[in-house]
């Protein structure tokens, strides 16, 4: 196994994936992707940045073997994307010490189930079978869930998956009209898990305490 791009021990990536509910990635891509607004450049791309100089929230690092480059992803506010919508930004590095960026990899589309001005939390990007898959959390505050839980905000919040040929994007939602997780669940922190048989799963946290588990086969049936 090539370990030359593995982060050194002093670089700690804290990944809190929640207790899980899986759904096959193949289901997420079952529909033909609908293009989002192309990735745009922010006003200023800086080089030679050290991590203390970069403001990040829920960051994620992808070590891309094909380009021998590290990609550091984080949420992008509407102000940063320059398009009035949230999204995902990234920085690049060859040594994990100095970085260049930010650049925009994904912008939430206007025409989807989510409010494009809210969310795009905790992005993760994974390479799988020659494509790059972005997992992030979008929101629809206007859509209320059927719940009696008054301890947390009542709104639709769910995991989405977007795909690109490049780790730099632009990423396109695989399912623009709905999240990849059930609408009635409040989910977040989606991530990719590939099981021993090579099948891809989307693992995510549901709410703050609940645990659920589902498996979707390639034919679309559901197993618990």
Choose between 32 and 124: higher pLDDT. 124
pLDDT digits (tens, 9 = 90+) for 103-144: 999 998 887 777 778 778 789 999 999 999 999 888 665 556
- Supply the CATH classification number for the domain 23-218: 2.115.10.20
Sign, CA dihedral 188-192-194-199, equals: positive
Whether this prediction's pTM lies above 0.85 is answered by no
Residue 63 — very low, low, confident or very high, per pLDDT cuts 50/70/90? very high
Residue 71: the pLDDT is: 98
Residues in CB range of 157: below 8 A, 6 or more apart: 119, 137, 138, 139, 140, 186, 187, 188
pLDDT at 158 over 70: yes
Beta strands at 87-93 and 69-76: parallel, antiparallel or unpaired? antiparallel
How crowded is residue 121: how many other Cβ atoms within 10 Å of its Cβ? 19
Strands (E), 94-167: 99-107, 119-128, 131-140, 156-164
For residues 207 and 186, the answer to whether their CB atoms sit within 8 Å is yes
Tokens of 17: 């994936």
- The domain limits of the chain are 23-218
For the chain, the first-to-last Cα distance in angstroms comes to: 34
Question: Which residue has 């791309």 as its token pair?
Answer: 45
Q: What is the pLDDT of residues 66-89, one digit of tens each?
A: 999 999 999 988 888 888 888 999
């Amino acid at each position: 196994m090539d370990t030359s791009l593995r982060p050194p021990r002093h670089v700690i990536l804290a990944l809190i994936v929640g207790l899980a509910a899986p759904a096959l990635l193949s289901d997420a891509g079952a529909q033909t992707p609908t293009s989002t607004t192309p990735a745009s450049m922010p006003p200023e791309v800086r080089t030679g940045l050290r991590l203390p100089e970069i403001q990040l929230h829920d960051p994620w690092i992808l070590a891309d073997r094909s380009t021998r480059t590290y990609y550091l992803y984080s949420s992008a506010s509407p102000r940063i994307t320059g398009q009035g919508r949230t999204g995902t930004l990234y920085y690049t590095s060859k040594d994990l010490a100095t970085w260049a960026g930010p650049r925009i990899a994904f912008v939430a589309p206007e025409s989807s189930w989510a409010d494009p001005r809210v969310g795009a939390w905790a992005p993760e990007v994974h390479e799988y079978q020659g494509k790059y898959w972005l997992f992030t959390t979008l929101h629809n505050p206007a859509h209320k869930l059927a719940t009696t839980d008054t301890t947390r905000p009542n709104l639709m919040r769910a995991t989405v998956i977007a795909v690109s040929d490049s780790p730099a994007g632009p990423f396109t939602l695989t399912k623009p009209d709905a999240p990849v997780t059930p609408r009635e669940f409040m989910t977040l922190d989606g991530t990719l898990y590939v099981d021993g048989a090579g099948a891809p799963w989307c693992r995510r946290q549901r709410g703050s305490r609940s645990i659920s588990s589902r498996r979707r086969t390639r034919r679309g049936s559901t197993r618990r």
